[in-house]
Amino acid sequence: MTWAIIYRYLPPRLVDIVNAPVLRLALGSMEKLGLRRAAKGPLQMIREDGRVPLIDVGTLRKIRDGSIKIRPGIDRLTAEGVVFGDGSNENFDAMIMATGFRPDLRRLVPDVEEVFDQQGMPLAVGRSTAAAGLYFCGQITAPTGQLREIGIEAQRIADLASNYLAASGSRAA
C-alpha cells in the first residue's frame, strides 16, 4: 500500500503537516529564494480550492543560480517597463508575465484600449492585440487540451514578438 492511499483517508491539513518536512528537505527553503509560502498546504489547496500547486524544480534551480530573478509584486506597467509593489521600477524592452488565475487583467495595463472585454479578459489570445507588442497566452479553455493549446499559442506569440522586436529595433530581455 502506498502513502497516497493512506493519505486519502486523513484530513488534508494533517497530510500537509506530515509532508512538510519532506518537502523542505527535498526542495530547500523557498522563502530564502524570495518566494512566499502558500497559506495552505498542497493537499489542502487541491481539496478545498480545486487548485493544483506546482513547484518546478528546474525553476527553483534557475532561481538559485541567478538565471531567474525574483522581484516584488507588480503594481503597474509603464510604457518603458514595470513599477513594482515596493515602489522600485525597472525598464524592459520585452516582458513575459505569468499572471496566474487572475482573469481581470485591466489593472496591469490600464492605459491600453480595445484590448479587454467587460470582465477584463483579453479580446485576442494567442495572436496580436490592438496594442502593438502586447500578447496574451493561455487565457482560454480548450477541449483539445489546455497545455497543448498554450504550447501552440506560445510558439505563435514567440514568432510575432520576435518579428515585432526586430521591426522596432528592440532587444528581448
Instruction: Provide the pLDDT confidence category of residue 135 given band limits of 50, 70 and 90.
Output: very high
Q: Do 27 and 105 reside in the same domain of the chain? A: no
Instruction: Provide the pLDDT confidence category of residue 60 given band limits of 50, 70 and 90.
Output: confident
Identify the domain boundary among 21, 42, 64: 64
The alpha carbon torsion through 139, 131, 76, 110 (nearest 10 deg) reads -90
Domain that holds residue 12: 3-64
Distance CA(111)–CA(170), nearest Å, equals 21
CB 172 within 8 A of CB 94: yes
- Is 52 part of a structural domain of the chain? yes
Q: CB neighbours (10 Å) of residue 148?
A: 10
Name beta bridge partners: 91.
81
Residue 172 has pLDDT above 60, yes or no: no
Q: Give the chain's domain count.
A: 2
Residue 173 has pLDDT above 60, yes or no: no
Where is average pLDDT lowest: 40-44, 66-70, 77-81, 143-147?
Answer: 143-147
Q: Do 92 and 154 reside in the same domain of the chain? A: yes
Predicted local confidence at residue 156, as pLDDT: 95
Mean pLDDT of the chain: 83
Identify the domain boundary among 41, 64, 87: 64
Q: Do 57 and 82 reside in the same domain of the chain? A: no
- Is 130 part of a structural domain of the chain? yes
- Is 69 part of a structural domain of the chain? no
Q: Do 121 and 99 reside in the same domain of the chain? A: yes
The stretch 134-162 carries a mean pLDDT of 84
Q: Do 59 and 86 reside in the same domain of the chain? A: no
Q: What would the grid cell of residue 59 be?
A: 525553476
Q: 138, 134, 149: which is closest to 100 by C-alpha?
A: 138
- Is 12 part of a structural domain of the chain? yes
Predicted local confidence at residue 77, as pLDDT: 84
Predicted local confidence at residue 100, as pLDDT: 62
Residue 157 has pLDDT above 90, yes or no: yes
Q: Do 36 and 86 reside in the same domain of the chain? A: no
Predicted local confidence at residue 161, as pLDDT: 92
Residue 143 has pLDDT above 70, yes or no: no
Tell me the whole-structure pTM to 2 decimals. Answer: 0.50
Identify the domain boundary among 33, 64, 95: 64
Task: Scan for cell 514567440, then name that residue.
Answer: 158
Q: Do 109 and 137 reside in the same domain of the chain? A: yes
Strands 74-77, 89-91: pairing kind? unpaired
The separation between CA 40 and the C-alpha centre of its own chain, rounded to angstroms, equals 19
Q: Do 41 and 83 reside in the same domain of the chain? A: no
Task: Scan for cell 528537505, then name that residue.
Answer: 25
- Is 25 part of a structural domain of the chain? yes
Predicted local confidence at residue 99, as pLDDT: 63
Residue 84 has pLDDT above 70, yes or no: yes
Q: CB neighbours (10 Å) of residue 136?
A: 21
Q: Do 105 and 27 reside in the same domain of the chain? A: no
